[in-house]
Amino acid sequence: MALKSTIYKADLQIADMDRHYYGDHSLTIARHPSETDERMMVRVAAFGLFASERLEFCKGLSDTDEPDLWQKDLTGQIQLWIEAGQPDERRIAKASGRSDRVVIIAYAGKTADIWWQGVKGKVERLRNVTVWSLADGVADALGKLAERTMRLQLMVQDGEASLGSATVDPVAIRWNVLKAPEA
């Protein structure tokens, strides 16, 4: 018998002064049995950093045809495809062809660096792809925020972001841009 996803609930308050986006989102997050708290919370942080009224969680690990998050327009065209982790270059190329914009958020320190060196040559030529690598320790710190029911606040100002709750100190979300989209 297959294991089922664990459901997490989060009330996420966002104050993104860089994009002038302010909103409250009630999120339902299905955590795949093979997913860690760290990965799940990287997905939540990604939601906050790219939040819009149309951004939504997808099946992610449960379905190879869907990312972790996506934003579609009213016609069903994928405007934004977000992956957390270290997808292979074929998956990134497929996402690039299906979406207007792709964002990859790698984490896990040295293994993310090794992954990037392996896919860099093929991914760099994809014009609509952005690749970030979270700073060491960020994913672990985000994982400590995980609770079955969460009340989180995300603040973004001057290119710096932090995610916190009433019970855990805010986590500074720092990243390096490994690849920016071409203009």
Output the domain CATH number for residue 38. 3.10.640.10
Two structure tokens written together for 78: 């994928």
How many domains does the chain contain in total?
A: 1
Containing domain of residue 14, as a range?
Answer: 6-179
- Which pLDDT score, from 0 to 100, does residue 51 have? 97
Give residue-wise pLDDT tens across range 15-60. 999 999 999 999 999 998 889 999 999 999 999 999 999 999 997 6
Is residue 177 within 8 Å of residue 132, measured between CB atoms?
yes
- Specify the pTM: 0.94
Instruction: Kindly state the average pLDDT of the residues 97-103.
Output: 97
Residue matched to tokens 């294991």: 3
Residues 27 and 60: their CA atoms lie apart, in Å, by 15
pLDDT at residue 1 greater than cutoff 60:
no
Is residue 81 within 8 Å of residue 67, measured between CB atoms?
yes
- Which pLDDT score, from 0 to 100, does residue 3 have? 76
Tabulate helix, strand, coil % of the chain (nearest 5): 25, 40, 35
Is residue 122 within 8 Å of residue 93, measured between CB atoms?
yes
- Which pLDDT score, from 0 to 100, does residue 62 have? 62
Which strands make up the sheet holding 69-72, listed edge to edge?
A: 55-57, 69-72, 78-84, 99-106, 129-134, 175-179
Query: Mapping DSSP to helix (H, G, I), strand (E, B) and coil, where does residue 24 land?
Result: strand
Across the chain, mean pLDDT equals: 94
Is residue 107, in this structure, part of any structural domain at all? yes
Is residue 34, in this structure, part of any structural domain at all? yes
Is residue 102, in this structure, part of any structural domain at all? yes
pLDDT at residue 149 greater than cutoff 80:
yes
Give residue-wise pLDDT tens across range 57-98. 997 666 678 999 999 999 999 999 999 999 999 999 999 999
- Which pLDDT score, from 0 to 100, does residue 71 have? 98
Is residue 1, in this structure, part of any structural domain at all? no
